[in-house]
Chain A
Amino acid sequence: MKPVLPLRIAWRFLKSSPGQSALIIAGIGVGIATQIFVGSLIVSLQDNLLNTTIGSAAHVTIKALKESDPVRYSPEMQKLFASDPRVKPDTVAPVRSVSALFSNGTDSSSLGVLGGKLDELNGIYKLDSRMISGKASIGPGEIILGKEFAEKFGIATGDTISMKFANNQTGSFKVAGIFDLGSAQFNLRNAFVDGAVPQNVLGWGNDQYSSIQMQLVQPYDSAKVAQQWSQQLPGVSVLDWQGQNADLLAGLTAQSVSSYMIQGFVLVAIALGIASTLAIAAVQKTRQIGILKAMGLGDQPAGQVFLFQAAILGVAGSVTGVLSSIALLALFRLSPAPFEITMDPKFVAFSALVGITVALLSSIIPIRQTSRLDPIEVIQNG
């Protein structure tokens, strides 16, 4: 027999109890919407946190084994980074850094002065888009300062400042702009200048740098990449952000686990809801199934009736859930949240698919009940 009849019967059974059908569709819908919303919220929250933490920082840093020594940015090294697809294009920045002391007469502060080429530094620090005043320019004699540093010392764009370097050299710079990289600590402790400035202070050659910094396409690859490069690049130290931010990673992992647990419990609740409703529906329709079996309906098509019911409820519930999650998201956008939730279409499709699968699995009990039903029980009991 074609599956058309079980589908037709399933549809009629659902239509005959519209309230019950609507309730279970709503139940699945709420569950799927919760799953999509919570999943998207956690992922967006983590993306936001990750972006704040490492969006404008190096994911992998190559340094000399001894902190004060330079690392040689060899052609082999350049070739290795250029050919590795895990390295995010245009984010490799050789950087020279030197300590300096700034004093305005009454107060003083040490400052890490980072030197490099602007386009290369932009690859990591996105200075062009992080300026709150002036412009990202580090031509000869120019410096860009962090927001907190500028505020602390009352410095504005266009001012000229001077500072003393470790070797007692003194430098005078015009403030081209003020940046905010999202980290008050970084803004307070660092400034950017042309690469030649620290090179002169340190007296290093053209291929000698304090560090080679870069970002990866997948930030979570950093530990693996660092481990691999450590073996390929002898004589240097390869650092990864994951190794340096263990606490943050533990927090993110705990957040992910709790998110998965919530989603798991939601799915179990959906499954129990559908299974119990379908089991009740199977009992309610015992007489009809019994008489259909007496007329010659086989065990398999009789079971298919509840499989199709589950499929219809699963599809309708999942669609309701997806639409509800879009509405929830629109509501969330109206609230003054510090970040935006984005829905990954793949995750939405996955959630809908999970909803349908859970619904189908929930039909196992009523299918077994129906398959076991002997028409004589119905006929004898009236």
Chain B
Amino acid sequence: MADSWSEGTLLVADDLGKVYGEGDAATHALRGISLTMCEGEFAAIVGQSGSGKSTLLNMLGLLDTPTTGTVHYQGRDVAELDKTGRAKLRNGLIGFVFQFHYLLPEFSVLENVSMPALIDGTVPATELKARANETLALLGLDGMGAKNANQLSGGQKQRVAIARALVNRPALLLADEPTGNLDTVNTNAVYDLFRQINKELGTSFLIVTHDRSIAERTDRILEITDGLLVQDIRTSDVVAD
């Protein structure tokens, strides 16, 4: 896999499979999925509920381990990393946004946003504060830093979660149904933000959604059905067709 590595490639997943249970009770959540993502890509994974799209995202996000296959990040096989190594890679290279915001109610908005950088522990406090505030501003949350997460609206909370995912300036942002709990206005706002961040910061995006219309606003659509990657298309090609 490392042999086929080329400049600008962010991740390569090869023959990923995930089986839950054994024997007759075995469930194949993923079946031999291979894909490559480049730096700065803006892609979506679509599929029916239970098709395996979240499982794939968790595997690419190093939250789950595949039963078969490999994941390489920037030329490195993550199977070679121990738990701490995977945690460090997650912290530095990947940002997560989930359907639920998962903000820490014990901390202020600014502290929540700063948390991944605090875990990293290498960013000086003053620089971190400036970066967190800058990220909040990017998401239209100026002046909200001192508030507690519980004082925000649903849309604001999800934007704080996005700011948190971006504070370490990750190469890849993985989002699992990030607007699943939001209304149409907030949903559109979030996708506009994703696109803006993709352009301004060069962050790659891989967004899981069951909403085809949202997926069509990305550059690439990966469709999963019953754990199989059945379609991998560029939206520009669809438009051209």
List the A side residues contacting B83 at CB < 8 Å: 298-299
Assess whether A5 is in contact with B119, with CB atoms less than 8 Å apart. Answer: yes
Assess whether B102 is in contact with A376, with CB atoms less than 8 Å apart. Answer: no
Interface size on A, residues (CB 8 A): 27
List the B side residues contacting A298 at CB < 8 Å: 83-84, 87-88
**A294 CA to B58 CA in the complex, in Å?**
10
Assess whether B105 is in contact with A2, with CB atoms less than 8 Å apart. Answer: no
Interface size on B, residues (CB 8 A): 29
Name the CB-closest residue of A to B164: A295
Name the CB-closest residue of A to B105: A16
**A300 CA to B119 CA in the complex, in Å?**
12
Name the CB-closest residue of A to B93: A296
**A98 CA to B237 CA in the complex, in Å?**
125
Min C-beta distance of A296 to chain B, whole Å: 2
B201 lies within 8 A of chain A by Cβ: no
B116 lies within 8 A of chain A by Cβ: yes
**A8 CA to B115 CA in the complex, in Å?**
11
List the B side residues contacting A376 at CB < 8 Å: 58, 63-64
The segment from A54-62, A109-117, A189-197, A284-292 that touches chain B is A284-292
Give 1 or 0 for each of B34-70: 1 = CB within 8 Å of chain A CB. 0000000000000000000010001001011000000
Assess whether A292 is in contact with B58, with CB atoms less than 8 Å apart. Answer: no
List the B side residues contacting A182 at CB < 8 Å: none
List the B side residues contacting A9 at CB < 8 Å: 106
**A2 CA to B104 CA in the complex, in Å?**
20
**A1 CA to B92 CA in the complex, in Å?**
13
Name the CB-closest residue of A to B122: A1
List the A side residues contacting B105 at CB < 8 Å: 16
List the B side residues contacting A297 at CB < 8 Å: 87, 91, 119
Q: Which of B84-109 contact A (CB under 8 A)?
A: 84, 87-88, 90-92, 96, 98-100, 102, 104-107
A288 and B106 in contact (CB under 8 A), knowing A295-B90, A295-B96, A296-B87? yes
Q: Which of B158-179 contact A (CB under 8 A)?
A: 164, 176
Assess whether B121 is in contact with A2, with CB atoms less than 8 Å apart. Answer: yes
Partner of B84, one of A5, A294, A299: A299
Min C-beta distance of B225 to chain A, whole Å: 21
Min C-beta distance of A11 to chain B, whole Å: 9
A16 and B115 in contact (CB under 8 A), knowing A375-B63, A379-B58? no
B211 lies within 8 A of chain A by Cβ: no
Min C-beta distance of A322 to chain B, whole Å: 29
**A358 CA to B240 CA in the complex, in Å?**
70
Min C-beta distance of B152 to chain A, whole Å: 17
Assess whether A296 is in contact with B106, with CB atoms less than 8 Å apart. Answer: no
Min C-beta distance of B124 to chain A, whole Å: 12
Q: Which of A66-91 contact B (CB under 8 A)?
A: none
B118 lies within 8 A of chain A by Cβ: yes
Assess whether A379 is in contact with B98, with CB atoms less than 8 Å apart. Answer: yes
B120 lies within 8 A of chain A by Cβ: yes
A126 lies within 8 A of chain B by Cβ: no
Assess whether A13 is in contact with B91, with CB atoms less than 8 Å apart. Answer: no
Partner of B100, one of A1, A288, A382: A382
Partner of A379, one of B63, B84, B116: B63
Assess whether A12 is in contact with B107, with CB atoms less than 8 Å apart. Answer: yes
List the B side residues contacting A1 at CB < 8 Å: 119-121
Name the CB-closest residue of B to A371: B83
Max chain B C-beta neighbours (<10 A), residue from A1, A2, A15: A1
Q: Which residue numbers of B lie inside 8 Å of A, CB to CB?
A: 54, 58, 61, 63-64, 83-84, 87-88, 90-92, 96, 98-100, 102, 104-107, 115-116, 118-121, 164, 176
24 contacts between A and B (CB under 8 A): A5-B119, A5-B121, A12-B106, A16-B105, A287-B102, A288-B104, A291-B102, A292-B104, A294-B90, A294-B96, A295-B90, A295-B164, A296-B91, A296-B116, A298-B87, A299-B87, A375-B63, A376-B63, A376-B64, A379-B63, A379-B98, A379-B176, A380-B58, A382-B100
The 8 A-B pairs at the shortest CB distance, nearest first, are namely A296-B91, A12-B106, A291-B102, A1-B121, A16-B106, A296-B90, A296-B87, A376-B63
Known: A5-B121, A294-B102, A295-B91. 19 other contacts (CB 8 A): A1-B120, A12-B106, A16-B105, A291-B104, A292-B119, A293-B87, A295-B90, A295-B96, A295-B164, A296-B88, A296-B90, A298-B83, A298-B84, A299-B83, A300-B84, A376-B63, A376-B64, A379-B63, A379-B176
